[in-house]
């Protein structure tokens, strides 16, 4: 090896160690400053941007999984691909540091060899200073040149691998194509190897063998070019192991598959859009549990309401403010809000007079006065009687209440068919009796929508259908049938409004008002409506407003009890003004649960008489 290094040094620098030193410094500078530093910077920036993009990619995968676009296995494969990409760029960033260290080590080793050789030549070999400097400097520079060429090749390979990492084909395929599809490069390589075997001190046989092999390859290569090209093009249509992975295109010029226009017509039933500052709430790698809580919402609705909520899609929206979010149903915005990630919302549910340090706000569902506070202030707020929840809970509660208030709209006819198909296995008798002999799926859909619109669970679907089937031979009006279904749910209705003292505290109607409302009932084949004289309607709303305010101030939820023949029409008349008012019929209350009348909704006799006279 020493003879080869000496021969290489004599060949390159012609025995002049000054020339060798200049050549060595040039190689080191090119390696260290140009190639290694550039490749390291590219790898560092790529790794940083890849890691920054990971939360968005993970959220997109989780959103697709939550929306049912992909299954669990596909989601796992996509996550592994994202993790592999991050690991690749991180490894390349680290590898560039090793290559840079190798370049620095080459410089230091050469300097140490020169100093050490100079000392050995003078003190051990009894050489003159000039002879020792010339000999050992030449050997050290020769050794440095020999070691720097592989280091230069390694640095260049690192730079190539990093800079072409976004290419469609893997590195092996591209190198094969560039080397073996250009036979001129192989001829040049064979000629260089042939010339090197004549350098004094270089071994003849290895260079002769390599020169002959590459010469034969260059001569035979044009004959294999066509078959090689076809094999690589065929292989490019499938995925290639390694990283980065081929995308499956037949050729670089192949046009991407166009998305069917019909896909543009698809609307997500429920969608949550997040501002940039809230994206991390859906990123499990950053302890974001938003997607898990959304899955919990769907399970809770299935268990409590009997409604299978469709997949809820979560995506980012750069048009929103950083901490804003909005909730969409079938592509239309229903509500929006703003939360402060990393802070806590303290709600003044006990009407406390204390003032907390923070950002004043309102709870988005019930509009309670609240304050965004830091974790330091959290304990103090709890001690003062405030209800404290984190930012994700605020968003999830807002979403849950929005879904509950719009459950009737969310339930589709296809969902009803799915519920009926599921029930067919265990309650085929009632379904076969009812559908299609008396009712259609559309009738059942309307009935279930009426129940959900008033916050009633449809989980006990067999009992609802059995009650409907008793009346279906007599009427097909969905409103009338939904009133019959409510009687099957009387225990659930009573339990919903029963107070802690065991009573249902209610409002009742003056008999004259109830008679006037009954006269305004209009029935059609598909619905029941209420028609009132406008002046009487306004005064009736005012009377309800007074009674409901008094009842709410006393700590009771407003519940009105009336006759079953006017219940649904009166509820629809009042719900736009009094969204929290519950209207129940006398026949929907079990005998075991007593009523306690809070007040009678009444109007002055003069106003009542004049209103009814018209």
In the predicted structure, residue 592 carries a pLDDT above the cut 80:
yes
Residues 397 and 420 grouped into a single domain: no
For 139-160, what is the mean pLDDT?
68
374, 405, 436: which is the final residue of a domain?
A: 405
Distance CA 603, CA 583 (A): 19
CATH number of the domain at 481, please: 1.10.8.540
Closest CA to 431 of 442, 446, 416, 421: 421
Residues 70 and 135 grouped into a single domain: yes
- Please give the distance of CA 271 from its chain centroid, rounded to a whole number: 11
Closest CA to 23 of 102, 110, 153: 110
φ, ψ for residue 370, nearest 5 deg: -150, 170
Residues 220 and 303 grouped into a single domain: no
Q: Where are the alpha helices (DSSP H) in 374-475?
A: 375-383, 391-405, 407-410, 413-424, 428-434, 441-453, 461-471
Residues 34 and 96 grouped into a single domain: yes
Residues 542 and 563 grouped into a single domain: yes
Residues 301 and 206 grouped into a single domain: no
For position 249, what pLDDT does the model report?
A: 39
For position 376, what pLDDT does the model report?
A: 87
CATH number of the domain at 599, please: 3.40.50.12790
Identify whether 177 is part of a domain.
Answer: no
Q: Which domain holds residue 10?
A: 2-169
Residues 119 and 25 grouped into a single domain: yes
CATH number of the domain at 295, please: 3.40.30.60
In the predicted structure, residue 242 carries a pLDDT above the cut 80:
no
For 599-613, what is the mean pLDDT?
58
Residues 272 and 399 grouped into a single domain: yes
User: Residue 417 has which token pair?
Assistant: 């068919």
Name the least confident of 174-188, 440-454, 572-586: 174-188
Identify whether 174 is part of a domain.
Answer: no
In the predicted structure, residue 299 carries a pLDDT above the cut 70:
yes
Identify whether 216 is part of a domain.
Answer: yes
Residues 160 and 16 grouped into a single domain: yes
Complete DSSP assignment for 327-382: EEETTEEEEEEE--TTSEEEE-TT------SSEEEE-TTT--EEEEE-HHHHHHHH
61-70, 230-239, 489-498: range with highest mean pLDDT:
489-498
Contact 586, 565 (CB under 8 A): no
473, 488, 503: which is the final residue of a domain?
A: 488
Residues 200 and 217 grouped into a single domain: yes
Identify whether 253 is part of a domain.
Answer: no
For 262-275, what is the mean pLDDT?
84
Q: How many domains does the chain fold into?
A: 5
- The pLDDT tens digits for 547-580 are 999 999 998 999 999 999 999 999 999 998 998 8
For position 43, what pLDDT does the model report?
A: 74
Identify whether 131 is part of a domain.
Answer: yes
Residue with tokens 């929206």: 317
For 70-77, what is the mean pLDDT?
80
Identify whether 510 is part of a domain.
Answer: yes
Q: Are strands 387-390 and 344-347 parallel, antiparallel or unpaired?
A: antiparallel
For 125-145, what is the mean pLDDT?
71
Residues 393 and 416 grouped into a single domain: no
For position 115, what pLDDT does the model report?
A: 81
Identify whether 140 is part of a domain.
Answer: yes
384, 405, 426: which is the final residue of a domain?
A: 405
Residues 401 and 416 grouped into a single domain: no
In the predicted structure, residue 139 carries a pLDDT above the cut 80:
no
CA atoms within 13 A on the CB side of 503: 9
Identify whether 397 is part of a domain.
Answer: yes
In the predicted structure, residue 414 carries a pLDDT above the cut 70:
yes
For position 531, what pLDDT does the model report?
A: 92
Name the least confident of 58-67, 347-356, 427-436: 58-67
């Amino acid at each position: 090896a020493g003879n080869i290094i000496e021969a290489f040094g004599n060949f390159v620098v012609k025995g002049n160690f000054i020339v060798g030193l200049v050549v060595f410094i040039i190689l080191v500078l090119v390696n260290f400053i140009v190639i290694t530093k550039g490749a390291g910077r590219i790898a560092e920036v790529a790794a940083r941007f890849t890691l920054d993009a990971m939360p968005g990619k993970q959220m997109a995968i989780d959103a697709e999984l939550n929306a049912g676009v992909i299954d669990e296995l596909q989601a796992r494969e996509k996550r592994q691909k994202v993790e592999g990409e991050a690991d690749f760029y991180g490894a390349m960033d680290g590898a560039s540091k090793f290559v840079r260290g190798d370049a620095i080590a080459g410089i230091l080793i050469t300097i140490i060899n020169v100093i050490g050789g100079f000392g050995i030549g003078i003190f051990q070999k009894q050489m003159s200073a000039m002879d020792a400097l010339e000999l050992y400097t030449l050997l050290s520079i020769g050794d440095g040149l020999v070691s720097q060429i592989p280091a230069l090749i390694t640095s260049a390979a690192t730079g190539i691998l990093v800079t072409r990492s976004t290419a469609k084909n893997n590195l092996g395929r591209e190198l094969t194509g560039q080397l073996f599809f250009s036979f001129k490069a192989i001829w040049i390589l064979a000629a260089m190897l042939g010339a090197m075997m004549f350098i004094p001190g270089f071994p003849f046989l290895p260079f002769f063998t390599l020169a002959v092999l590459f010469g034969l390859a260059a001569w035979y290569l044009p004959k294999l070019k066509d078959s090689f090209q076809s094999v690589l093009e065929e292989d490019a249509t499938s995925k290639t192991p390694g990283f980065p992975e081929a995308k499956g295109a037949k050729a670089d010029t192949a046009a991407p598959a166009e998305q069917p226009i019909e896909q543009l017509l698809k609307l997500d039933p429920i969608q949550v859009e997040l501002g940039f500052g809230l994206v991390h709430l859906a990123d499990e790698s950053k302890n974001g549990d938003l997607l898990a809580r959304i899955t919990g919402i769907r399970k809770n609705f299935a268990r409590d309401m009997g409604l299978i909520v469709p997949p809820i899609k979560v995506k980012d929206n750069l048009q929103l403010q950083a901490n804003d979010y909005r909730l969409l149903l079938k592509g239309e915005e229903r509500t929006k809000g703003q939360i402060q990630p990393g802070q806590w919302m303290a709600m003044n549910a006990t009407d406390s007079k204390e003032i907390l340090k923070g950002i004043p706000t309102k709870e988005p569902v019930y509009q309670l006065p609240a304050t965004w506070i830091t974790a330091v202030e959290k304990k103090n707020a709890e001690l003062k009687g405030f209800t404290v929840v984190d930012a994700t809970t605020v968003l999830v509660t807002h979403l849950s209440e929005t879904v509950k208030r719009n459950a009737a709209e969310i339930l589709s006819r296809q969902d009803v068919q799915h519920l009926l198909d599921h029930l067919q296995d265990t309650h085929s008798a009632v379904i076969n009796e009812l559908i299609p002999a008396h009712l259609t799926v559309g009738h059942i859909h309307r009935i279930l929508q009426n129940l959900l619109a008033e916050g009633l669970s449809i989980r006990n679907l067999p009992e609802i259908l059995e009650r409907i089937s008793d009346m279906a031979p007599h009427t097909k009006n969905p409103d009338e049938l939904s009133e019959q279904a409510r009687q099957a749910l009387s225990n659930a209705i009573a339990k919903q409004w029963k107070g802690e003292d065991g009573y249902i505290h209610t409002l009742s109607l003056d008999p004259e008002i109830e008679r006037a409302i009954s006269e305004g009932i209009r029935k059609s084949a598909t619905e029941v409506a209420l028609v009132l004289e406008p002046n009487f309607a306004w005064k009736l709303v005012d009377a309800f407003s007074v009674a409901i305010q008094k009842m709410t101030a006393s700590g009771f939820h407003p519940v009105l009890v009336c006759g079953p023949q006017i219940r649904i029409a009166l509820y629809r008349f009042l719900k736009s003004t009094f969204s929290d008012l519950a209207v129940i019929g006398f026949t929907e209350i079990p005998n075991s649960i007593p009523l306690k009348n809070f007040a009678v909704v009444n109007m002055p006799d003069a106003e009542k008489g004049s209103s009814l006279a018209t």
